[in-house]
Amino acid sequence: MSRFMPYIRVFIYMVAGMQRMALPAFVSANFVSTFFYVLASISLGYVLAENRQRLVDMVRQGEFYAALVAVVLLAIYIGYRRRLNRHKLSPSQD
């Protein structure tokens, strides 16, 4: 399972050694997990390649929405800063 988790697979060798896992069991478990990792990676690449144009269209649509959200957030931030500056410049009414 650690084969699917980046950075964790680096430490699995130490954990296996600290648990005194038998070498043949570790090698066979590592081989099986590598087999499934490669199988999943190839399958994912194949599916993504078949749907490439659809993915490109989704990303382009997502870019539009991300840009729209960025513009709205920028407008809110500018309005907030102007409101703060206006309150700082106006005479206080104590």
Place of tokens 């066979």: 28
Q: Do 86 and 57 fall into the same domain?
A: yes
Range of the domain at 43: 1-50
Q: CA 87: distance to chain centroid?
A: 41
Model confidence over 5-64: pLDDT tens digits? 666 767 777 888 888 889 899 889 888 888 888 898 899 889 888 888 887 887 788 888
Q: Do 39 and 73 fall into the same domain?
A: no
Q: How many separate domains does the chain show?
A: 2
**Whole-Å CA distances, 16 to 12, 30, 77:** 6, 11, 52
Q: Do 14 and 37 fall into the same domain?
A: yes
Q: Do 59 and 91 fall into the same domain?
A: yes
- The answer to pTM > 0.85 is no
Q: In sequence order, what are the residues at sequence separation of 6 or more whose Cβ sits closer than 8 angstroms to the Cβ of residue 10?
A: none
